[in-house]
Structure 1
Amino acid sequence: MPLAALIRGPLARPRPAPLARLLAMLAAARSHRQLGRLDDRLLRDVGLTRADARRDTGLPPWNAPGHWLR
């Protein structure tokens, strides 16, 4: 058994590669910017308020959803 498997445990997921993490951060930043550009009608269509959009546009770029890194 590899040493990494012993340290992290048999059920631990491997960490995503640095390039994958960087790409996910860039995609999250782009998504946050685009959300801030939506008008109120489009925000209502996706079930968000202007306050929700403002909160999400202020998120840091490293706040990428975990499923983007798989």
Structure 2
Amino acid sequence: MSPALQNPHLALLGAEPRLVPAAALAVKLAAAIQIWSMRRRTRHQLRDLDDHLLNDIGVTRREAFGESRRAFWRG
């Protein structure tokens, strides 16, 4: 066995059980909520940009408004 695998801290990590299914689901749900929140926030910020800023990024007012109305769960 290599010295790295004999490290007691590494042995503890390998011995720990995986997340129970409910906890794994909770982690996935929390990640999804974080992404949805970011999408909602950035889409609303896009909607509120001035015309000259929209022009700088190559987006029309109509495109910005359309994007801001998209559902947060849609990528």
Runs of 4+ in 1 over 4 A off after TM superposition: none
Q: Match of 2:60? A: 49
**Is the partner of 1:61 in helix, strand or coil?**
coil
Q: Match of 2:41? A: 30
In our comparison, the structure showing a higher alpha carbon Rg is: 2
Q: Match of 1:60? A: 71
Q: Match of 2:30? A: 19
The TM-score with structure 1 as length reference comes to 0.65
Give structure 1 stretches of 5+ with no counterpart: 1-15, 65-70
Aligned residues: 49
Identity %: 31
Give structure 2 stretches of 5+ with no counterpart: 1-26
Quick check: which one's helix share is greater?
Answer: 2
The TM-score with structure 2 as length reference comes to 0.61
Q: RCO higher in 1 or 2 (8 Å CA, sep ≥ 6)?
A: 1
Task: Output the aligned Cα RMSD.
Answer: 1.3
